[in-house]
Amino acid sequence: MRVLFHVQHLLGIGHDRRAALITRGLAEAGVAVTVLRGGHPVPGIDYGPAADIVQLPPARAADGSFKTLLDEHDRPIDDAWRARRRATVLEVQERVRPDALLVESFPFGRRAFRFELLPLLEAAKAAGAVTACSVRDILVTKAKPERLEETVSTVERLFDHVLVHGDPDLIPFAATFPAAARIAERIRYTGYVAAPQGGEGKGADGTGEVIVSVGGGAVGLPLLRAALAVRASTPAGLDAPWRLLAGPDVPEADVRALAAAAPPGTIVERARPDFPALLRRCRLSISQAGYNTVLDVLQAGCRAVVVPFAAGSETEQATRAHLLEERGRLAVVDEATLTPDTLAAGVAKALALPPPPAIPLRLDGAAATARLLLDAVAYRQGNSR
């Protein structure tokens, strides 16, 4: 079986990380996967040796508003760039002739790429491929009702399945997509796409520490600076080392400035592949509230403070964070009110909470995605004989 997987991350690295886990799950199930990768390559994210990666001319968001998209030369994308991307995407579709096309986020997000995604989906359907959307559990709230109608219409016309990488027992898709009932027959929950936790890593790093992380770090510098400012004034700062992890998108000059300002007992370094092991040993995690980081925190079972990214119209991280706060699982500091004082209060609150309760979740989303696509293709091919 052949799967073509279109992936486009724009700012953080969460979309790319989740897509890599899904790709590896497909490969482990014996599927030949070709990935159309539309973002800039991210250090440390591995799609696996079996995947055929087609790097498209990359695009990224200029800032957290997502209003301006920049090309590989940091210029605003234009019609010529769009035509080049569209041609490449359709050439790969024709070469691979996939049994299934998997599209990350669209049409629930990534509307700016419909210039290539609509022709790709139409070509795949015309060739008889199963078409599916790969989408996380929580969507960004849309203010315009016409966008909701457009999304439903696109799903009904071009998608066989909507694979929701979540668990309805924690949050149903309808909680952030009000028209979910209209496409209910296409929705399949895969469970969460969680990274394997692996071993304990090297040494005892993380033991009893406060771990401050910002994912890729594209919008995480204010949190790192606030953590550094508050480090010596919180209960945790009295007897615990602090370790600040700067993701690959934090500029090197800013990492050096953080390290130069760090007081004794504070480590500033780049993000590490053994992050899950650090969390399992830590006293407290301080982070944003992205999909992947929150899953790492929940699996580690550690106390946590989260500062959900909320620039522009972003609501996804805040929704996830407040849902888990209501369940007594973590403390939330809103990004709009982030200061050393509010972060210190969040740390004190998290440390005063009872031991974090376990939240049973399905965490085999990558394998489940592979099973669902295999079943869908087998059903399609069986009915076409």
Task: Give me the torsion for CA of 66, 182, 294, 217, rounded to 10°.
Answer: -10
The 10 Å Cβ neighbour count of residue 144 is 8
User: pLDDT tens, 191-215?
Assistant: 999 988 766 666 789 999 999 999 9
pLDDT at 43 over 90: no
- Nearest alpha carbon to residue 269 among 293, 304, 290, 242: 242
The 10 Å Cβ neighbour count of residue 247 is 23
Identify the pLDDT of residue 200: 62
**CA–CA separation, 264 and 250 (whole Å):** 22
Let me know how long the chain is.
Answer: 385
DSSP 50: T
210-352: CATH topology is: Rossmann fold (3.40.50)
**CA–CA separation, 224 and 234 (whole Å):** 15
Instruction: Record the tokens describing residue 172, joined without a space.
Output: 């149903």
**CA–CA separation, 304 and 192 (whole Å):** 19
Identify the pLDDT of residue 237: 66
**CA–CA separation, 355 and 15 (whole Å):** 30
At 218, is the pLDDT very low, low, confident or very high (cuts 50, 70, 90)? confident
Identify the pLDDT of residue 13: 84
Identify the pLDDT of residue 67: 85
User: pLDDT tens, 108-163?
Assistant: 999 999 999 999 999 999 999 999 999 999 998 776 788 899 999 999 999 999 99
CA distance from start to end of the chain: 16
Q: Is the dihedral of CA 60, 63, 66, 68 positive or negative?
A: negative
pLDDT at 319 over 60: yes
Query: Phi and psi for 74 in degrees, rounded to 5?
Result: 60, 30
- CATH architecture of the domain with range 2-194+363-384: 3-Layer(aba) Sandwich (3.40)
Q: CB within 8 A of 144, min separation 6: which ones?
A: none
Of 48-57, 158-167, 350-359, least confident by mean pLDDT is 350-359
From the CA atom positions of the chain, what is the Rg in Å?
21
- Nearest alpha carbon to residue 291 among 227, 345, 363, 346: 363
User: pLDDT tens, 237-271?
Assistant: 667 899 999 999 899 999 999 999 998 899 999 99
| Percentage of residues of the chain with pLDDT beyond 70 | 96
**Domain range annotation of the chain:** 2-194+363-384, 210-352
The answer to whether the beta carbons of residues 304 and 213 sit under 8 Å apart is no
Do 210-352 and 2-194+363-384 fall under one CATH topology? yes
Q: How far is CA 309 from the centre of its chain?
A: 12
pLDDT at 38 over 80: yes
* 217: three-class secondary structure by DSSP: coil
pTM of the model: 0.91
Q: How far is CA 326 from the centre of its chain?
A: 22
Instruction: Record the tokens describing residue 108, joined without a space.
Output: 């629930």
**CA–CA separation, 323 and 330 (whole Å):** 10
Q: Is the dihedral of CA 163, 189, 160, 186 positive or negative?
A: negative
The answer to whether the beta carbons of residues 50 and 18 sit under 8 Å apart is no
The 10 Å Cβ neighbour count of residue 147 is 13
Looking only at the bridges linking them, the beta strands covering 69-70 and 60-61 are antiparallel
Of 54-68, 161-175, 243-257, 264-278, least confident by mean pLDDT is 54-68
Between residues 349 and 195, which one has the greater pLDDT? 349
**CA–CA separation, 26 and 42 (whole Å):** 20
The 10 Å Cβ neighbour count of residue 258 is 20
Q: Cis (ω within 30 of 0) for the bond into 107?
A: yes
* Angle of CA points 346, 313, 121, to nearest 5°: 125
| Helix boundaries (H) for 180-230 | 221-230
